[in-house]
Amino acid sequence: MSNNNSQSTWLAILSVLVLALAGISIYLLTSKNSLQEANLEKQDKLEEVIQLKDSLDAQFNDAILELDEMKGTNAELNEIIEQQKTDLTAQKRKISGLIGSKRRLNEAREEIAKMTAQAEQYMAQISQLQNEKQALTQENVTLNTDLTTARSANEELTSAKAMLVSEKADLETQRAELAEKVSVGSVVKVSNVAVQGFKVRKSGKRSDKKKARNIDVLQMCFNLISNKVVEAGTETFQLVLMSPDGTPILGGTTSGSFMSKESGSEVRYTMEVTETYSNAGKEVCLDYEDPNGYQKGTYNVEIYNKGFLSGEGNFTLK
């Protein structure tokens, strides 16, 4: 009885051990399969990474080589190519980082495609610029030829123009001289310039005075000389009354200025008068009142017409 129990116990233990060994075997087999699958997946991933790196290097190197081959003697184009190479290098560096992470391979593929497209666009741009440069070079050749022809024609025109300018200058000089003569010839001269001082009574009656302190009004008279060159009409005269100290007397609203045709300088006048002129002699008289009074001494009178001195005179106050 005792031996049977012992055998049963050993059988039970053996059964448990067998089951345990079977479970361990199954676990180990399953783990082995999983490890094999993981290793295969890592192997595939590694091969994919290598392929992407090789593809990146190949496309990058091809693009750089083509860009270098497009270089020439044009400094601006070469500068653009170098900038494009710098941009592609930056793109490659970014893609290499994505490949290195191994988790962003799809994104790396997309960036490689973008880099390839960008390189093609760069090369197309450089090709277009080279074509444009070639066209411009040809156009410059044509323009230089035209310019040479134009310069030859221009030299002939310049010579002819110089002759015309010289002839025109001579004509302008003659015209100016004639105009000056006509202008001077159209001046209405005056004579017998005389000035008389008066004391004005309350009744309005005037009496001749010679002393400056007794004078209220100066009456200035002059005669217009006949000039057949001048057409009948109105003539304007400016009168400059010079005080004994040599300065013009300016009478407020009656005074003004004009440009002398003889000296080209400004002349300030004491008063202005406009008279009807019919190519005949005529006496013109006008009054001048100075609110500041008069000083003794010799006064000069200058009369201008059309910017020229027409006549002059003087008088003395005691």
Q: What is the sign of the dihedral through the CA atoms of 151, 153, 154 and 158? A: positive
Band (pLDDT 50/70/90 cuts) for residue 178 is very low
**Helix, strand and coil percent figures for the chain, each rounded to 5:** 55, 25, 20
Please give the share of the chain, as a percent, with pLDDT higher than 70.
81
pLDDT tops 80 at residue 46: no
Q: Are 243 and 249 in contact (CB under 8 A)?
A: yes
Please report the pLDDT score of residue 42 as a whole number. 54
Long-range contacts of the stretch 293-297 (C-beta < 8 A, 24+): 293/212, 293/213, 293/215, 294/197, 294/212, 294/213, 294/215, 294/218, 295/212, 295/243, 295/244, 296/211, 296/212, 296/244, 297/212, 297/243, 297/244, 297/245
Write the pLDDT tens digit of every residue in 66-108: 778 777 777 777 888 788 778 878 877 877 777 766 666 667 6
Name the burial class of residue 139, with classes exposed (0-12), middle (13-18) and buried (19+) by CB atoms within 10 angstroms of its CB: exposed
Q: How far apart are CA 173 and CA 158, in angstroms?
A: 22
Strands annotated E in 111-264: 190-200, 206-209, 217-224, 233-242, 256-259
User: Six-digit token pair at 253?
Assistant: 């609203």
Band (pLDDT 50/70/90 cuts) for residue 35 is low
Please report the pLDDT score of residue 102 as a whole number. 60
List the domain boundaries for the chain: 2-132, 190-317
Q: Per the confidence metrics, is the pTM higher than 0.75?
A: no
Please report the pLDDT score of residue 33 as a whole number. 56
User: What is the pLDDT averaged over residues 28-57?
Assistant: 64
Distance in Å from the first CA to the final CA of the chain: 186
pLDDT tops 70 at residue 34: no
Please give the share of the chain, as a percent, with pLDDT higher than 90.
19
Band (pLDDT 50/70/90 cuts) for residue 240 is very high
More confident residue, 235 or 45: 235
Band (pLDDT 50/70/90 cuts) for residue 301 is very high
Range with top average pLDDT, 60-64, 173-177, 228-232, 243-247 = 243-247
Give CATH for domain 190-317: 2.60.40.1930
Write the pLDDT tens digit of every residue in 102-148: 666 667 677 777 777 877 887 788 778 778 777 878 888 887 887 78
Kind and range of the H or E run holding 160: helix 105-185
Q: How far apart are CA 23 and CA 249, in angstroms?
A: 140
- The DSSP bridge partners found for residue 199 are 207
Question: What are the residues whose beta carbons fall under 8 Å from the beta carbon of 123, sequence distance 6 or more?
Answer: 63, 66, 67, 70
Cα-to-chain-centroid distance, residue 159: 34
Cα-to-chain-centroid distance, residue 172: 36
User: What is the pLDDT averaged over residues 166-192?
Assistant: 67
